[in-house]
Amino acid sequence: MKIAIVTGGASGIGRAIATSLVARGDTVIVSDIDTAGAEAVADRLNTLGRGKAHAAPLDVTDAAAVTRLYQDVHNDHGRLDLVFNNAGISIGGLAEELTLDHWHRAVDINLMGVVHGVHAAYPLMLEQRSGHIVNTASLAGLVPMPMGIPYTATKHAVVGLSLGLRAEAAAKGVKVSVVCPGFVDTPLLANVNKDLPHTTLSGDSREAIRKQAGGFYSAERLADDIMLGIRRNKALIVAPALGRAAWRGARLNPAAAVRMAAIGVWRHRRDQRHG
């Protein structure tokens, strides 16, 4: 039985991860800025009759709050085995449509939220000489992903942070992995640019994104991939297979990957003109 924290656990990928952990008998702290959502998830997971779930309110942009929660969980249980720095938001729109508000929100949540989680968890795991930090990035952190470059930039940063930390942590008994999913059907896609200035990809953009992506992957299947990746201590957990193919293609021929992305932008602009 392991002790785990999942940020962004009230929905989507975080909820699916928490469900997988409880199903195998772990104790999970489901944290989210959506307190009621986190409590609802924890209540449901506690009906499974296997592991245990506890809800905790958490705004990952508040470094002190993140540190306090991680330290409290460590103190209460005597250890902290798994940390999933998963909370994030979706930012969409062409570069000319974006304001600094879009950029600041993306950096504050998608990047600094992970930084705060790492900063809180890593010292605890160094002290116990064990533990696994799992950061959620995106396929957008591995390939050129237009029409939301604040999101893309922060996910590239999370990949770099994770791989660099993995190299530092290896000799200290601490493991680090980064999850890079393709398009997953989660509430994130229904809340693009929530409370931010409107762009052509604001609001519920699932259908527009589905056209570009060719379909979605389920959060539950991704959670299975993540659990397997953790067992194998993989540095990069990339899913689904189509995402892995895109990643390999971008590595082999970066210029072609940019050209393919440019075609997607052209189609988006065309659809907007004729929409």
Catalytic residues: 151
- Whole-angstrom CA distances from 28 to 24, 41, 68 are 11, 11, 16
Task: Please tell me the distance from the alpha carbon of residue 247 to that of residue 141, in angstroms, as a whole number.
Answer: 10
List 134's β-bridge partners, or say none.
Answer: 84, 177
Residue type, position 190, single letter? A
Q: Under DSSP, is residue 80 helix (H, G, I), strand (E, B) or coil? A: coil
- Identify whether the C-beta of residue 58 lies closer than 8 Å to the C-beta of residue 69: yes
DSSP secondary structure code for residue 181 in this structure:
E
Kindly give, in sequence order, each residue whose CB lies less than 8 Å from that of residue 95, ignoring residues fewer than 6 positions away: 149
- Identify whether the C-beta of residue 213 lies closer than 8 Å to the C-beta of residue 240: no
Q: Under DSSP, is residue 53 helix (H, G, I), strand (E, B) or coil? A: strand
The pair of structure tokens assigned to 67 is 């540190």
Cα 234–Cα 1–Cα 159 angle in degrees, nearest 5: 25
The pair of structure tokens assigned to 266 is 């052209």
Kindly give, in sequence order, each residue whose CB lies less than 8 Å from that of residue 149, ignoring residues fewer than 6 positions away: 95, 98
The pair of structure tokens assigned to 53 is 């779930």
- Burial class from Cβ neighbours inside 10 Å (0-12, 13-18, 19+) for residue 49 reads exposed
